[in-house]
Structure 1
Amino acid sequence: MLQLEQAGQPVETPKHLAWLNSIAGELATATLIRLDETLPWYRNMPPVRRAAIGGVAQTGITSFISWYKDPKAQPWVAADVFGSAPRELLRSISLQETLQVIQVVVEMVEETVLKEHPDLHTAVLKYSRDLAFSAADVYARAAEARGLWDARLEALVVDSIISGETSQEISSRVAALGWQADGAVAVLLGSTPSSEDPDGVRKTARKLAADVLVGIQGRRQVVVVGLMEPTNDAEAKIYETASALEQYFGSGPLVLGPTVLSVSDASKSAKAALSALAVAATVDSPTRPTHADKLLPERALSGDPLAKQSMLDKYYTPLADSQSDLLSTLRAYLDCGRSLEATSKQLFVHANTVRYRLKRIQEIIIENPTDPRSAFMLQIALALGAISDSESGVRR
């Protein structure tokens, strides 16, 4: 039995315990009325959940009496009180709301008990302290378990994206993770840093109105970047975000996949980024990050079918479907080592005509044939186009 100090002497209190047992039901009823009067969110809850919370409050009062009877032999544990409620209740009310319920319970105990027996003040204080700490412990354990589960689910989602999964399951999984992005998405690939800092990645992304999924796969780090809201210049915004995240990757190539409309299509961006990362070492001092499409020629040479098709669609087909002299002029210009004089002689036209056609080519494909890197890319595109035409019988 709990002993109270009065005039320096411990006093047995069986009368207190009998009195507490006699008012338990009345106190529980008064507590439910107070919850309804003081907590608007409790008033607006469905009846089933109101009853569950009321059960928690009532169990809390009962636990006070049991705790008061023998605090050492039966320590009060918040999990025992919440055990009377459905599991989803812990997920439906926040820690702040739980503490509000606890505050109401403690206030009712204080008002009712101390009014009749002021000498129980110390017991009530100890009870309220243990109650608050135990409730915080319940939520801390729940948060820790949720954090571990979220980490495993995030790793699963990233693995699914990298492996090429495009099902709607990805959307549902990221929703479970609290994915907030509603705009364009792209995949960023690079080496794992010596000191991993996924929290830093998330914080930096949030400052730029983006959400991220972070995955570590051995020596490779994967970051799926998604914009919070749709924008007219999504590609530029994603590149800005990727540039800000560059500091969280290790040394070596850093590749940004093409922009896609949603996270369910992120595997397309990942596939291009993986292909580009595999050939990034062939380019001297690539920028960080490098767009995967900037490495289309190297990807095509390595056998990437997506890169081959992209080069045909972007460069070869538009020229082949335009004026017939543009494609032949580009081929002659590249074969002649990008010499205007040699090209004009081979085509039997004036050099200014060659200049005009090169300008038209640049307007159509948005690449300057006189630039060495663009010329290399177009040389590969012409070769791929010739092979495609030969295999399909088109434009022979």
Structure 2
Amino acid sequence: MTKAQTLTWLRNISGDLASETLKKLDDTLPWYGTMPPSRRSAVGLVAQAGITSFISWYDDPSSQPWIAADVFDAAPRELLRSVSLQQTLQLIRVVVEVVEERVKGRDESVREAILLYSREIAFAAADVYARAAEARGLWDARLEALVVDSILSGEYDNELPSRIAALGWNGHGEVCVLVGTTPRIVDVDQVRRIARHVDADVLIGVQGNRLVVVIGRATPRGEDGTDAPPTHTFAQIAEALEPSFGEGHLVLGPEVPDVVEAGKSAKAALAGFAVARSWRNAPRPTHADDLLPERALAGDPIARRTLIDRIYTPLKNHNVELLATLWAYLDNGRSLEATARELFVHPNTVRYRLKRISEVIGWDATGSREALILQCALVVGSIAEPGGPRR
């Protein structure tokens, strides 16, 4: 057959090729059969456009060098979101197999043309999906920055959960915010890889010289396929992420119930980051609650309220003797003997009361750093008492 006769024959059987292709798609690709009718129709349009485009390309390969890219113009944009690149390549393979089967035994140049054109189609498909992924990546980056800004500013609206869901957030339950200095080069992908290794998901935002990471624990899968309990604490996750931050202080905010309330953790972390330099031997990372004295002195109302609610009020409500013992112990330079003389009790009684204080509030007054926190809590709590400071 001459080339003109081959072209005429191909044009005559193009409709049959499209029908055979759709039938083979239905027989060989399970995902095609489960698609809604509108999506199946769109896939059929792509297959028909591919066959028609091949015939035009075979007629004159040099007249339309980018004709392969036009195949996907027949498909709606929604098809890119419902059909993956892997499925698209499977579709191309089925079309090529159908056309090859029909031209078998005819002009060998047609088979070679099919191989060349299928390569162009595959590259065109990869280009389409690459451009879509790039556009989606830029959109996701802007959306992620918007979400982190909303969390830091505490501006909650009804759209915040849907925006977080659009980013593919995999965190469940409690959330913490980690604030540190921005490194010279922010490797966002590396931060996400590290987070995945410790069963966590992150939202990342760069705020000038501050790098903010919202941490949520992803639910790991057990050996039987069911959800397993979290294997890493937030402190362990923060330690794993620590190398991704620049030099300087790194502050981890307190846990909050879910990502929607992450603004509370962010406020504490930002307040702690602002005063962390005043703690000479601050660890990295530092818990925001370990910086309560510095935050309270800097005028952070959340820190003052936390000191009162977690230290002063529980001691006062539990036993007034414990509060008086703590005052005396700290005022006397943490001396057991001096405290016992002031209270007219035995030193062992002071030891027992200090142990009870630790059990009630969770802080140990015998440690130098925790003694500072407790001293600040007593001062702030007494100032907040009705009628002014009093012992």
TM-score by length of 2: 0.93
Instruction: Give the direction of change, closer, same or farther, for the CA distance of 1:394–1:297 in structure 2 (3 Å limit).
Output: closer
SS in 1 for 2:201: strand
1:97 is aligned to: 87
| Displacement of 1:377 | 1.1
1:318 is aligned to: 314
Letter in 2 for 1:144: E
1:71 paired to 2:61? yes
| Displacement of 1:142 | 1.0
Instruction: Give the direction of change, closer, same or farther, for the CA distance of 1:163–1:178 in structure 2 (3 Å limit).
Output: same
Tell me the distance in 2 between the aligned counterparts of 1:160 and 1:386.
36
| Displacement of 1:82 | 2.1
Instruction: Give the direction of change, closer, same or farther, for the CA distance of 1:378–1:234 in structure 2 (3 Å limit).
Output: farther
Tell me the distance in 2 between the aligned counterparts of 1:120 and 1:73.
18
1:88 paired to 2:78? yes
Instruction: Give the direction of change, closer, same or farther, for the CA distance of 1:78–1:314 in structure 2 (3 Å limit).
Output: farther
Q: Which of 104, 124, 127 is 1:137 aligned to?
A: 127
SS in 2 for 1:49: helix
Q: Which of 282, 287, 295 is 2:283 aligned to?
A: 287
Tell me the distance in 1 between the aligned counterparts of 2:157 and 2:288.
23
Instruction: Give the direction of change, closer, same or farther, for the CA distance of 1:89–1:72 in structure 2 (3 Å limit).
Output: same
1:332 is aligned to: 328
2:150 is aligned to: 160
Instruction: Tell whether the 8 Å contact from 2:383 to 2:389 is kept in structure 1 after alignment.
Output: no
Tell me the distance in 2 between the aligned counterparts of 1:281 and 1:329.
32
| Displacement of 1:376 | 1.3
Tell me the distance in 2 between the aligned counterparts of 1:43 and 1:124.
26
| Displacement of 1:390 | 2.6
1:182 is aligned to: 172
1:202 is aligned to: 192
Please list the CA deviations of residues 199-234 of structure 1 after superposition, one character each: whole Å capped at 9, or x if unmatched: 111111111111111222221111111100299997
Instruction: Tell whether the 8 Å contact from 1:76 to 1:131 is kept in structure 2 after alignment.
Output: no
Instruction: Tell whether the 8 Å contact from 1:170 to 1:263 is kept in structure 2 after alignment.
Output: no
| Displacement of 1:171 | 2.4
Tell me the distance in 2 between the aligned counterparts of 1:307 and 1:236.
27
SS in 2 for 1:131: helix
Name the % identity. 59
Please list the CA deviations of residues 219-272 of structure 1 after superposition, one character each: whole Å capped at 9, or x if unmatched: 111111110029999796111011011111111100001111211111111100
Tell me the distance in 1 between the aligned counterparts of 2:68 and 2:140.
25
SS in 1 for 2:233: helix
Instruction: Tell whether the 8 Å contact from 2:53 to 2:68 is kept in structure 1 after alignment.
Output: no
Q: Which of 187, 192, 216 is 2:182 aligned to?
A: 192
Tell me the distance in 2 between the aligned counterparts of 1:328 and 1:285.
30
Instruction: Give the direction of change, closer, same or farther, for the CA distance of 1:309–1:243 in structure 2 (3 Å limit).
Output: same
Bigger drift between 365-374 and 237-246 goes to 365-374
Instruction: Tell whether the 8 Å contact from 2:46 to 2:71 is kept in structure 1 after alignment.
Output: yes
1:303 paired to 2:293? no
Q: Which of 231, 237, 241 is 2:233 aligned to?
A: 237
Letter in 2 for 1:242: A
Structure 1 gaps of 5+ residues are: 1-10
SS in 1 for 2:385: helix
Q: Which of 256, 259, 262 is 1:263 aligned to?
A: 259
Instruction: Tell whether the 8 Å contact from 1:258 to 1:292 is kept in structure 2 after alignment.
Output: yes
1:8 is aligned to: none
Instruction: Tell whether the 8 Å contact from 2:199 to 2:231 is kept in structure 1 after alignment.
Output: no
Instruction: Tell whether the 8 Å contact from 2:148 to 2:203 is kept in structure 1 after alignment.
Output: yes
Instruction: Give the direction of change, closer, same or farther, for the CA distance of 1:40–1:60 in structure 2 (3 Å limit).
Output: same
Structural mapping, 1:338-377, within 5 Å? 338-377=334-373
2:224 is aligned to: none
Instruction: Tell whether the 8 Å contact from 1:168 to 1:264 is kept in structure 2 after alignment.
Output: no
Please list the CA deviations of residues 264-312 of structure 1 after superposition, one character each: whole Å capped at 9, or x if unmatched: 1111111000000000000012111000000011111111111111111
Structural mapping, 1:26-45, within 5 Å? 26-45=16-35
Instruction: Tell whether the 8 Å contact from 2:171 to 2:200 is kept in structure 1 after alignment.
Output: yes
Letter in 1 for 2:200: A
Tell me the distance in 2 between the aligned counterparts of 1:78 and 1:214.
39
Tell me the distance in 1 between the aligned counterparts of 2:355 and 2:21.
82
Q: Which of 187, 193, 214 is 2:204 aligned to?
A: 214
Count how many residue pairs are aligned between Structure 1 and Structure 2: 385
1:50 paired to 2:46? no
Structure 2 gaps of 5+ residues are: 221-226
Tell me the distance in 2 between the aligned counterparts of 1:307 and 1:233.
31
Tell me the distance in 1 between the aligned counterparts of 2:276 and 2:73.
56
TM-score by length of 1: 0.92
| Displacement of 1:85 | 2.1
Please list the CA deviations of residues 327-362 of structure 1 after superposition, one character each: whole Å capped at 9, or x if unmatched: 112112222222222222222333332222222212
Tell me the distance in 2 between the aligned counterparts of 1:114 and 1:72.
25
| Displacement of 1:165 | 2.6
SS in 2 for 1:45: coil
Letter in 1 for 2:252: L
Q: Which of 218, 225, 245 is 1:249 aligned to?
A: 245
Instruction: Tell whether the 8 Å contact from 1:235 to 1:259 is kept in structure 2 after alignment.
Output: no
Tell me the distance in 2 between the aligned counterparts of 1:72 and 1:86.
28
RMSD between superposed Cα atoms in Å: 2.2
Instruction: Give the direction of change, closer, same or farther, for the CA distance of 1:394–1:343 in structure 2 (3 Å limit).
Output: closer
